[in-house]
Structure 1
Amino acid sequence: MSDHRLSENVERRRSSDRTGERRGGSPENRRRGPDTLSKSIRIVATIGWLFLLSAMVFIDLAKPKYVTVFEQRNGAADRTGGWDMDMARAIFFLQVGGFLFGTYGFVMNMKRSRRKSDRYRINLLVLAVTSLFGMIYYLLFF
C-alpha cells in the first residue's frame, strides 16, 4: 500500500511539473467560469450595443420622409421635410454613449487578458469604431 501511495505522489509531482506550477512557470488554469470582470465586460458590451441599436431606430424615425410615386400622382408631395434635428442630436449622444461603452469595455478586456486562452472581444472594438464614424458623420454633415 505504501508503495502505491508513493507512486501516486511521484506522479502528482510530475504532472504539476509539466504544468509549470512548481518551477515558477504559469500556474494551471483554476478558473471555474466567468469571473466578475468578465461578466461586467459582457454587460458593458450589451449596454453599448443597445445604445447603437437605439441610435439606428432613431435614425429611421428622424430621417426625412420620402415621397413615393403614388403620393406624387395624388398630390400629397407636401409631406417632405428635413431631418428632425432634436432626434439627430439624440442620435449623436447615443453614439457617444456607444463609443464610451465600447472603449471602456475594450480597455477592461485588454487589462484582463493575460493568458493565451483569453480572447479579445472584437465586438467592443467594432462598437467603438462604428460609433466613432457615426459621430464624425454627424459633426461633418449636420
Structure 2
Amino acid sequence: MRQNRKERRKGPDGLQKLFVIISLLAWTMFIGSLVVYHYARPEIAYSAFQTTDGQGYRDHWIEDLRQVFVFLLWGCCGITLAGIFVNWSRSRRKTDYFKMNMGLLAVIVIAILLFYYLKLFRG
C-alpha cells in the first residue's frame, strides 16, 4: 500500500555534487594511468622485421613512469572507494541508488593493482 508522503528532498546537496566532480577526476586519473602505462611498459616486437636482440625496441620498463603509473592507480583507488563510502553512508531510502560507475572503476583499479603486485605484468 502506497502512502502519500510529501517529498522533502530538494535534490543532491553540495557534498554529493562534489563527489560527482571527484568521480570525474577519478576517471580522468584512470585514463591518465593508462596513458602512462602505455609509455612505461616494454615495447613489443610486432613484426618479423624487428630483431629479437633488443635493437629497435625497448625491452624494459621506464622506472619513473612505472612509479607514476602505480601512484595514479592508488590515487584513483582511494578517491573511488571514498566516493563509494560517502554514497553508501548518505543513502537512506530504498529509492536512493548506487552509482555503478564508481563500483565499476573500483573493481577495475583493484584488479589492475592485484595484477601489478602479483607480478602478472610481464617485464
1:79 matches 2:56:
yes
What letter matches 2:87 in structure 1? N
Q: How far off its partner does 1:116 sit? A: 2.1
Paired residue for 2:72?
94
Q: Could you report, residue by residue, the CA deviation over 1:55-91 in whole angstroms, capped at 9, with x for unpaired residues? A: 1111111122223436438xxx602221212211111
Alpha-carbon RMSD: 2.3
The structure with higher relative contact order (CA 8 Å, sep 6+) is 2
- Please give the alpha-carbon distance, in whole angstroms, between the structure 2 residues aligned to 1:96 and 1:140: 15
1:19 matches 2:30:
no
Percent sequence identity over aligned pairs: 29
Q: Decide whether the 8 Å contact of 2:42 with 2:61 is kept in 1.
A: yes
Of Structure 1 and Structure 2, the greater helix share is in: 1
- Please give the alpha-carbon distance, in whole angstroms, between the structure 1 residues aligned to 2:90 and 2:40: 39
Paired residue for 1:109?
87
| Bigger Cα displacement from structure 2, 28-37 vs 92-101 | 28-37
Runs of 5+ unmatched residues, structure 2: none
Please report the TM-score for the alignment, with normalisation by the length of structure 2: 0.80
Q: Count the aligned residue pairs.
A: 117
- Please give the alpha-carbon distance, in whole angstroms, between the structure 2 residues aligned to 1:95 and 1:68: 28
Runs of 5+ unmatched residues, structure 1: 1-17, 21-27
Give the counterpart of 2:107 among 129, 133, 140.
Answer: 129
- Please give the alpha-carbon distance, in whole angstroms, between the structure 1 residues aligned to 2:23 and 2:14: 14
SS of the aligned residue for 1:72 comes to coil
Q: How far off its partner does 1:137 sit? A: 1.7
Please report the TM-score for the alignment, with normalisation by the length of structure 1: 0.71
Q: Decide whether the 8 Å contact of 1:99 with 1:129 is kept in 2.
A: no
